Structure formats: C-alpha cells, structure tokens
Amino acid sequence: MAVRKRARRARRAVMAGLCLLLVPPVSGCAGRAPGDAAKAQVQRVLDRRAAALLRHDEKTYDTTGTPAEYARLRALPLASWDYRVTALHRSGSGATADTELRYRVAGYDRAPIGVRRVLTLGRAADGTWYVTADKPAPEAGQQLWDQGAVTALRGTHSLVLGAGPGAGQLRAYARLADRAVPAVSDAWGTDWSRRVVVLVPRSLESMGGLLGSPAADYRGIAAVTTGEAGGSGQAPADRVVVNPEAYAGLGDLGKQVVLTHETTHVATRAHTTAATPLWLSEGYADWVGYLGTGRTPSEAAPELARAVQDDRVPSALPADKDFRFTSDPTHLAQAYESGWLACRMIAGRWGEDRLGAFYRAVGDHGKRSGAVEQALEKVLRTTPQAFTAQWRAYVRSELS
C-alpha cells in the first residue's frame, strides 16, 4: 500500500515537471497563449480608439494610429462605436485584425449597425500596437467615411450625410426628406420612427461602393433603401442611398417623388417581409410618392401607356425578377408602373385604409405562399383571378 502511494506521488511529480518544462514562460499550465495576449492588447487599443472618438478626443485618437481618419469621422453624430476583434493574423512585426465594427447614429438608429472591417496594425519599439489602415472586409460594402470626410446636416425629420457634396447640396436633400416624412405618415400612419437617414455619396461609382455592388447595376436608379425586412423591432434605421448622377437629372417634382418613395420603404419596413411581393412594396411606395402631385396615369406610367396603346396589356402582375435593376430599362419601368396602378386601383375601389390594411396583411403572413391570396380574400373580399382581371381592365381604361 505504501509502495502504491509513493508511485502515485512520483507520477504527480513527473507531471508537474512536464508542465514546467513545456511552458517555462507561463505561470502554471492554464496560462494565456502569446497569440491570445496580442489579441487582447489590440482589443485594448481599439477600445481606447473608440472611446476617444465618442468623446471627441482627437489627441488620444491620434495615438492609436491613422490620425487623418479622425477628420473623416468627427462630424458623425454617434451614440456608440466599438470594435470586436474576431481574429488576429501576425506577420513579421505587424498584424492584421478581422473585426466587427458596431456603431449607432444618435437619434436615428434603434440598434447598432454591424459591419466587418480589416485593420492593419504596426508595432512600436515599446511593443505598443497602433492602426495603420482601417478598410472594409473583402466583399463588404464601404462606409461613407471610406470615401472622404463626412458632412452631416440635420433636418426636422431627417439626417443627411454626405462625402463630397457641400452643406448647400445636403440642405436641399434635407428639405425634400422633411416634406416626405409627414406625407408618408399621412398615408401609412405614425407607427414608425418618422425619421429618415439619407446618404449622399460623391458619384454613381461611390454609390456602388456603399452598396457593395457594381455601380453599373444602379445606373439610372435615383435612390435605393437598405435595411432589414421583417421588422424585428431591433434593426437600426434604414438608409436611403442616393445616386447623385441620376438624381441630378430629375426635376423638382421627380426629386420629391423619389425621396417620398424611399421614405415609404423606411416606414413600411416592419410589415415588409419575405411574403411581400415587389409589385406591392414598390407599387405602394410609388402610390405614396405620387399622392397629391396631380400626375395623370399616362404621365406617371408612360412605358406601360405605350404598351397599352400597342395593345400589349400585361397578362399578370409583375414577378419579383422583373424588378431587377439589371433588367431592360423599359421592362423595369413597366414593372414599377404596373405595381403603382395596382395599388392605385385598390385605393380607388376599396379605399386608402383598405390599401394599408392589405399591405400589412400580406407582410404579416410571414411566408410568400398564400400571403396575397389570403389578404385578397380577408381584406378585399376577392380572389387572385378576379383581382388580376380587374387590374388588367383598370390598366387598359386608365392608359388608353
């Protein structure tokens, strides 16, 4: 018995010796690996960098690297800003850090926006890490400050952020957005934030950079709205991203219609889900956009009017694929015009309140299958076949 005890004590001594031999620089076997220590050091630098930005402490921000970047960011009205290092890749005396940046614009975002960034890091002689570059991760879209110093202009119901355009140009966008918000509330109701964030990049190319897509996809598109469909209630505010080149070619009325259309997408986002067909979401946004403008159907739907005059009335409402920005421009215009006339018909025959109720009922169904059919039956007391026939007759009568 005593021999066995001595043997066990000997084995424990050997194991303890192995621990000390294998990991001499670390106190105990459970110490932190060198890579983890470096990652923690970088995280502390980024925490200090974020805190300095939030309290407008340029001097401290500069000590963490890339001092020129502070000038690009300082106009952003931020409620929060923080990095989380997800991976650190050492390379010689430097490193790159994969990070998630989460930030929230004060007064507009319900929750932080998360974007993936890659930071390049250097190391000083005293071992201190510092940032040498902060770029979007591969396949992630740019942020506005990647394109230059951000200018911020607050309206009554809007925040307009630009990188390139001056304050005078941004003020014009704010005036249009401030008119759009109450117009949308009058049509849709007030169960939304009643605020809108508008991003104005320098060019079409810059717009594509923000959206992470080829700029050619948006040629001729005056603006788009980004955001989370489905209305979790936790998503940050949507962003209306303007194509300054296409937008500049519009008249005053066209500019207002576009911003009211995009603001409608912001308002209806909570009830726009995978169940909502694009003819309804885009048609409703156009219906709100054209309200009170005095535009006749032929003026607002010129491409569809030409088709009707050539005796080419569509046989069915447009499918989602018909709304692709890369579609033939005439075909794309007809898709939007068809959706608009469908919503206009519902408002005219069943009433504006029923149109809003129909939109909500479709989105609240949650899945595409059966959503429109059930909403047609429940809200409008009709069938898909009867509705389509009514819409085709309406298109012909309004555009002939």
Dihedral angle sign, alpha carbons of residues 245, 250, 255, 259: negative
Residue 138 has, within 13 A of its CA and on its CB side, a CA count of 1
Q: How many Å separate Cα 159 from the centre of its chain? A: 15
Residue with tokens 């998503």: 235
Question: In whole angstroms, what is the distance from residue 154 CA to residue 107 CA?
Answer: 11
CATH topology of domain 34-139: Nuclear Transport Factor 2; Chain: A, (3.10.450)
Sheet of 158-162: strand order equals 151-154, 158-162, 196-200, 239-242, 223-226
Contacts of residue 305, Cβ cutoff 8 Å, sequence gap at least 6: 297, 298, 399
Contacts of residue 193, Cβ cutoff 8 Å, sequence gap at least 6: 108, 110, 237, 266
Query: Residue 232, exposed/middle/buried by CB under 10 A (0-12, 13-18, 19+)?
Result: exposed
Compute and round to an integer the Cα radius of gyration of the chain.
28
Measured CA distances, 204 to 144, 255, 258, 377 (Å): 13, 16, 16, 43
Residue with tokens 């704010």: 174
pLDDT over threshold 70, residue 21:
no
Q: 319-373, pLDDT tens digit by residue?
A: 999 998 877 899 999 999 999 999 999 999 999 999 999 999 999 998 999 999 9
Q: Which residues of 281-320 are buried (b: 16+ CB within 10 A; e: fewer)?
A: bbbbbbbbbbbeeeeebeebbebbbebbeeeebbeebbee
Question: In whole angstroms, what is the distance from residue 238 CA to residue 186 CA?
Answer: 20
Q: 204-249, pLDDT tens digit by residue?
A: 999 999 999 999 989 889 999 987 554 444 445 689 999 999 999 9
Q: 92-149, pLDDT tens digit by residue?
A: 889 999 999 999 999 999 889 999 999 999 999 999 999 999 999 998 999 999 999 9
Measured CA distances, 336 to 238, 297, 303, 304, 317 (Å): 21, 13, 10, 9, 10
Cβ neighbours around 97 below 10 Å, total: 25
Q: Which of 310, 292, 288, 317 is nearest to 387 (CA)?
A: 317
Question: In whole angstroms, what is the distance from residue 83 CA to residue 191 CA?
Answer: 33
pLDDT for position 326: 74
Top-confidence residue, 29 or 146: 146
Q: Which of 373, 397, 367 is nearest to 385 (CA)?
A: 373
Could you state, in order of their start, the residue ranges of all structural domains in the chain?
34-139, 141-268, 273-400
pTM of the model: 0.87
Question: Domain spanning 141-268: which CATH class is it, in words?
Answer: alpha beta
**Alpha-carbon dihedral of residues 312, 317, 323, 326, nearest 10 degrees?**
-30
Token pair, residue 52, equals 């300095």
